[in-house]
Amino acid sequence: MVAAALPLWLSVLGIVLRGAGFAFRKEVEKLRWKRLLGATFALSSLLTPFFIGTVVGAVVAGKIALNAEHSTLTAWTNPTSILTGCLFVIVCAYEAAVFLLGEATTRRDPRLARYFRRRAAIAGAAAGALSLADLLVLRSSDAALADRLTGRALPLVVVAGVCGIVVFAVLVTGRTRGLRVLSASGVAAVVWAWGVAQYPTLLPETGLTLSGSSAPHATLVAVIAVAVLAVALVVPGFFLLFFLHGRQLLESDAASTEPL
């Protein structure tokens, strides 16, 4: 929060601008304002994942000091951070294209389905290439972590690669069944691989471990209990909303009566 304060604040700014652009674009009437707010939404959709990715890259590369007293530009502008930021953006584009492909297929819109199928294939290939480039650059910034990624975390890396290949094959063959699960599983495998490779270290090059930085046991139990309760309350409603939206059951009366 100190050493990488600038990219964290920029990512927060992106979140705020994205929400504002999305909300206000539907309210304004003039075309120039719609374009401006649409551009704000698009730009913020790039800013947030990129700067969050640079922070993750800074942690992975061991650029975050344990007792940092001020923000440092070099902590998050190294090659690992920049590549990781770009990877976050591409992965978001990849997942968005896959999910929107499913939406277009459900709505029986072949034009949009072809469009998002092509975008998903391009973004998936770019994500794979950036992942390999990031791994190569990581060998110069944190060779030990890179070795563990190709060592004890290798099964998860293989799972991520297989999921990516299968998704690409399904896209090429023109199918959509199982794409969302496969793409999400591949991304989740990459995240888990990072965790397995870095465990038990929390901040590389500092000696800080998960157990050494954890909260008291009672606090951890309370946090877990609250998280479980939140999941139990929120997840069913989320899936219901997703189901209803996917079946186009949430269209307003005004929208249904508007002329095409």
Distance separating alpha carbons of residues 59 and 123, to the nearest angstrom: 25
Contact 195, 103 (CB under 8 A): no
Distance separating alpha carbons of residues 240 and 258, to the nearest angstrom: 26
Its sign, for the CA torsion 112, 114, 115, 116, is: positive
Contact 161, 193 (CB under 8 A): no
Query: With helix as H, strand as E and coil as C, how does 163-225 read?
Result: HHHHHHHHHHCCCCCCHHHHHHHHHHHHHHHHHHHHCCEEECCCCEEHHHHCCCHHHHHHHHH
Indicate the range of 15-29, 53-67, 114-128, 233-247 predicted with least confidence.
Answer: 233-247
Q: Give the pLDDT of residue 251.
A: 62
Domain ranges of the chain: 5-214, 215-250
| 259 compared with 248, residue with greater pLDDT | 248
Whether 254 shows a pLDDT value over 70: the answer reads no
Label residue 100 left, alpha or beta by phi (over 0 means left) and psi (-120 to 50 means alpha): alpha
Q: Show the DSSP H helices in the chain as ranges.
A: 5-25, 31-60, 79-106, 110-141, 143-149, 154-172, 179-198, 210-213, 217-246, 253-257
The model carries a pTM of 0.85
Q: Average model confidence (pLDDT) for the chain?
A: 89
Q: Give the pLDDT of residue 153.
A: 94
Q: DSSP letter for 71, please.
A: -
The percentage of the chain sitting over the pLDDT mark of 90, rounded to a whole number, equals 63
Whether 118 shows a pLDDT value over 70: the answer reads yes
Contact 2, 70 (CB under 8 A): yes
Q: Give the pLDDT of residue 250.
A: 66
pLDDT band at 258 (very low <50, low <70, confident <90, very high): very low
The percentage of the chain sitting over the pLDDT mark of 70, rounded to a whole number, equals 94
Whether 12 shows a pLDDT value over 50: the answer reads yes
Q: Which residue has the tokens 């705020």?
A: 16
User: Coil, strand, or helix at residue 78?
Assistant: coil
Phi, psi for residue 164 in degrees, rounded to 5 = -65, -40
CB atoms within 10 A of CB 212: 10
| 75 compared with 259, residue with greater pLDDT | 75
